[in-house]
Structure 1
Amino acid sequence: MEITLNKKNNTEGVIKIKLTEGDYQPHVEEKVKDYSRKANIKGFRQGKVPSGVIKKMFGKSILVDEINHLLSHKLSDYIKDNQIKILGDPLPNQEKAKQIDWDTQKDFEFEYQIGMVDEFTYEVSSKVKVKSYPIDVDQNTIDETLTDLKKRFGKVSEPETSEADDNLFGELRAKEGDFKKEHAFIAIEKVEKKEQKKFIGLKKDEEVEFEVSKIFSEDAQVAQLLGLSEEEAKAAKGKYIFKLTNISRVEPAAVNTELFDRVFGKDVVKTEEEFITKVKETISENYKRESEHFLDHNIEDYFISNTSINLPDDFLKSWLLSSSNGEVTEEVLNREFEHYKRGLKWDLVKNRIADDNKITVEAEEVRNKAKELIAAQFGGSAFVEQLGDRLDGIADNYLQNENGQNFMRLYNQLRGDKILKFIKDNITVQEKKVTVEEFKKIVAEHKH
């Protein structure tokens, strides 16, 4: 057997494997004997089928199977033993494989195209500066949240005539064209102020005509109304007619014990002051997560932009097309390839950082994370106490489900968290406190 690697460049190469009869024939003969012992063929006693009969009936398929099995192991061993850092999987030369004559050939040559990771350098030090935007929860945000909670848990009624804070349900159709939507929804408070009067004072079965590009300031509202994507909603124009079928009005809930219990659970807070404090804590925690998530995104952006990694684009495209079972088409590939490359680059940087700094995750850490998730899902510490030692078994079952995918998902999550923590601990994070509105604007303006 002869295995060689011919490098086209630093990221592409071809592995050639040459087999002689002595490399595969012993395996083929052993498999023929195994078939002879197990085959159940009419006219022969089981276990007494002559090898010649087996070869005539199954010889070619046995030969192909054994050579493929041998190739798979030898290729994998060669890549591992020579520490070749490949991307994706080796791609067999299908044209060359089609030319094989399995009936007469004794010696074979196979080729595999491979993509490789080129050497690259990265920097994790105090010289690396990434911006973070901690959110300062102001009184306006607290007031808006309280108003929203009172509405969410308020009393719903269905009045005869619409007012400024009502939600309208009805049928929508384009004045010109075939567009129709049986179940449309308009929140009057979301409508532009100068357009709101059209929707106030309406009764059931009455109609109102409007220019769709004028009634909302946000594309998301147009998208919701017409059932479009936000990108499509930006270009939406024309006049539409809304026929009212129902009015929904919410009387805000009173700030009392009933509201406290419905929002946070029974007896968690008991006074209005405690309620407002708890609301602020919850908002702060939620926005802290958003701010941390955006910092993580900015870190990813920094390393992708400032780490030069040469990738074998042609190989990666071929591999994605061949390994997707038809799910990735040329159209999908053209649309998504740059996004895929971005994710691949970030994975390569993270893996190198983890390897260089011995960042690892132990199985027990994964198990503990699974126990945390299970406990949180079913009631926290009270659930843990009730289950006792049985929680270990539940966690183990969870991690083994889906062929171990749950284990790998949590493993990768913990590993990613550790890598990001290492980066944050060793770079300069420049913090700038912002309001909620400022944060939303920064996120909206952040585009690749």
Structure 2
Amino acid sequence: MNITQEKTGNLNAVVKIKIAPADYTERVDKAIKEQAKKAQLPGFRKGMVPAAHIKRMYGKSILVDEINNLLNDTLSKYIADEKLEVLGQPLPKTDDEKEFKWDNTDEFEFDYELGLSPAFDVAISSKDKFTQYVVKADKETLESRIKNIRRSYGKMTNPEVSEEGDVLYADFTQLAADGSVYEGGIANTATLRLDQVADKKILKTLVGLKKDAEVTIDIQKALEDAAVIAKVLNISEDDAKELKANFKLTVKNINRLEEADLNQEFFDKLFGEGVVTDEAGFRAKITEEVESMFTQDADRKLSNDIYEQFLAKHNFELPDEFLRRWLKATNEKLTDEELAEGYDDFAKNLKWTLIENKIIKDNSIEIKYEDVVQAAKAKIDMQFRMYSPSPLPEDQLAQYAVQFLQQKENANQVFEEVKALKTFEQIKSVATLEQKEIDYDKFIALDKR
């Protein structure tokens, strides 16, 4: 067997593999004998089919399979032995002039295109400067979080008169153009959350209502969202999008979620017995929790700033034409338009992956299984804290994490997140970070720019 490599550009190469009968005959004969042992053919007992008969019937297909297996093994070994850093996978070159007899006497030659990873260095120093924002809870954000927590532990009441934030249980009846009930029209009984009403003028007509009160509303103008309209009227979303009609809303009941009182019983439910004893302590705890969540947002922005700056700093080339062909070859449904629109983002993410891998390798950074488990636990804990500030018990959190990681897709995702985290930690340990306090509302505005 003869293998040669020819550079066709800075980041492109062609590997030529020549295979003689001596390279594949033994493999093919062995495969034929194994097939004969397993074959069940009319006129022969199982395992007693002559190898010559199998060769006559299936020899060509077996030869094709073994040549393909030999090529894959040979190419993989060659890339590993030569320490070639390839991007994507090798692409076979088609040559219409080459014709093979496939009769076990052929000398085969196959060519494979390779896209090579560029050689580059990643320089990290104190000259790399980034702003590390310390996000503080502004009054509006804090009050909103406190209100949501108090409502989560509150109780449902049925007041006589509706207010903003209430839920109306009502009959909805479609009206004709003249205001009369539309015969054969839509009629349904459902709940309507007043915080879903988009039009402020319509919202005012729904505040101050009592049981049995009737109001006419333009359903599209009131709710705007086809999914909400569909749920309220019990129709499909497609029908909801096309619906243009007024509805008579008749109040059957008013529901209100009252906020929990700021008392010791409430504090103990949230934080454990005796941890918080007054409103000041409660607000301090919620502020701490909210600003802890803001820390994640600030870390996310810092990571994004590092990502953008390091991509700009390490502006190396990729074998773009090869990668475009590889993407088309491995994604049959990918159109030329989709490729043109998405390639720049693909190339950007690939460059970052190469930078990331270089930092991991240069600094001998290990990613252990315990790191992945801890990251999964943190992810699950954060999801639960969105609904309750009370943490999950450690044993339960660990159990959820193990179950989560049993799915390969989840495990790969968390592994990549840990890898990214360790990369950013390495950069931050060397670069210069300048801390700056900022209110949450100003941070959000900054982050949207």
TM score, norm. by length of structure 1: 0.77
- Letter of the 1:137 counterpart: A
Separation of aligned partners in 2, 1:97 and 1:307? 43
1:278 aligns to 2:285 (yes or no): yes
1:341 aligns to 2:347 (yes or no): yes
Separation of aligned partners in 2, 1:83 and 1:292? 36
- Could you tell me how far 1:410 is from its partner in structure 2? 4.3
- Letter of the 2:5 counterpart: L
1:43 aligns to 2:43 (yes or no): yes
In the other structure, the counterpart of 2:217 is: 208
On the 8 A contact 2:100/2:106 being kept in 1, the answer is no
**Residues 337 and 59 (structure 1 numbering): CA distance in 2 closer, same or farther, change over 3 Å?**
same
In the other structure, the counterpart of 2:436 is: 432
Separation of aligned partners in 2, 1:6 and 1:17? 12
- Secondary structure at the aligned position of 2:143 is classed as helix
- Could you tell me how far 1:280 is from its partner in structure 2? 1.4
Separation of aligned partners in 1, 2:97 and 2:275? 70
- Letter of the 1:208 counterpart: I
- Letter of the 1:339 counterpart: D
- Letter of the 1:430 counterpart: E
- Letter of the 1:439 counterpart: F
Question: What per-residue deviation string (whole Å, max 9, x for no partner) do you get for residues 5-45 of structure 1?
Answer: 23221222322212111111111112222233343333334
Question: What per-residue deviation string (whole Å, max 9, x for no partner) do you get for residues 77-123 of structure 1?
Answer: 11111121111111223565995443476011212222221223332
**Equivalence map 1:288-367=2 (5 Å):** 288-324=295-331, 326=333, 328-363=334-369, 365-366=371-372
In the other structure, the counterpart of 1:102 is: 102
On the 8 A contact 1:168/1:187 being kept in 2, the answer is yes
Superposed CA RMSD in Å reads 4.2
- Secondary structure at the aligned position of 2:352 is classed as helix
- Could you tell me how far 1:346 is from its partner in structure 2? 1.0
- Letter of the 1:440 counterpart: I
Separation of aligned partners in 2, 1:187 and 1:293? 34
Separation of aligned partners in 2, 1:70 and 1:93? 17
**Residues 292 and 158 (structure 1 numbering): CA distance in 2 closer, same or farther, change over 3 Å?**
same
**Equivalence map 1:160-179=2 (5 Å):** 162-166=162-166
- Letter of the 2:425 counterpart: K
- Letter of the 1:57 counterpart: M
Separation of aligned partners in 2, 1:97 and 1:361? 49
On the 8 A contact 1:172/1:240 being kept in 2, the answer is no
- Could you tell me how far 1:304 is from its partner in structure 2? 1.7
On the 8 A contact 1:165/1:187 being kept in 2, the answer is yes
In the other structure, the counterpart of 1:230 is: none
- Could you tell me how far 1:432 is from its partner in structure 2? 1.9
**Residues 334 and 400 (structure 1 numbering): CA distance in 2 closer, same or farther, change over 3 Å?**
same
- Could you tell me how far 1:132 is from its partner in structure 2? 2.3
In the other structure, the counterpart of 1:387 is: none
Separation of aligned partners in 1, 2:140 and 2:415? 40
- Secondary structure at the aligned position of 1:134 is classed as strand
Separation of aligned partners in 2, 1:298 and 1:102? 57
- Secondary structure at the aligned position of 2:356 is classed as helix
- Could you tell me how far 1:194 is from its partner in structure 2? 7.5
In the other structure, the counterpart of 1:388 is: none
Question: What per-residue deviation string (whole Å, max 9, x for no partner) do you get for residues 394-433 of structure 1?
Answer: 799759844x656544443333222111100111122221
1:444 aligns to 2:443 (yes or no): no
Can you give the 5+ residue segments of structure 2 that lack an aligned partner in the other structure? 178-185, 231-240, 385-390
On the 8 A contact 1:97/1:110 being kept in 2, the answer is no
In the other structure, the counterpart of 2:155 is: 155
Question: What per-residue deviation string (whole Å, max 9, x for no partner) do you get for residues 153-204 of structure 1?
Answer: 333345565434445688799x99xxx9998966459868788545534576
**Equivalence map 1:401-440=2 (5 Å):** 401-402=406-407, 408-440=412-444
Separation of aligned partners in 2, 1:294 and 1:147? 27
Question: What per-residue deviation string (whole Å, max 9, x for no partner) do you get for residues 287-323 of structure 1?
Answer: 1111112211111111122211212223223222332
- Secondary structure at the aligned position of 1:416 is classed as helix
**Residues 84 and 142 (structure 1 numbering): CA distance in 2 closer, same or farther, change over 3 Å?**
same
**Residues 140 and 444 (structure 1 numbering): CA distance in 2 closer, same or farther, change over 3 Å?**
same
On the 8 A contact 2:136/2:438 being kept in 1, the answer is yes
- Could you tell me how far 1:438 is from its partner in structure 2? 0.5
**Equivalence map 1:14-33=2 (5 Å):** 14-33=14-33
- Letter of the 1:353 counterpart: I
**Residues 306 and 160 (structure 1 numbering): CA distance in 2 closer, same or farther, change over 3 Å?**
farther
- Could you tell me how far 1:257 is from its partner in structure 2? 3.2
Can you give the 5+ residue segments of structure 1 that lack an aligned partner in the other structure? 228-235, 385-390
**Equivalence map 1:136-285=2 (5 Å):** 136-157=136-157, 162-166=162-166, 187=194, 197-201=204-208, 205-209=214-218, 244=249, 248-264=255-271, 269-285=276-292
- Letter of the 2:326 counterpart: W
Q: Alignment length, in residue pairs?
A: 417
- Could you tell me how far 1:130 is from its partner in structure 2? 1.9
The worse-fitting range, judged by mean Cα deviation, of 35-44 and 350-359 is 35-44
**Residues 6 and 195 (structure 1 numbering): CA distance in 2 closer, same or farther, change over 3 Å?**
farther
**Residues 37 and 149 (structure 1 numbering): CA distance in 2 closer, same or farther, change over 3 Å?**
closer
In the other structure, the counterpart of 1:71 is: 71
On the 8 A contact 2:86/2:116 being kept in 1, the answer is yes
Identity rate, percent: 32
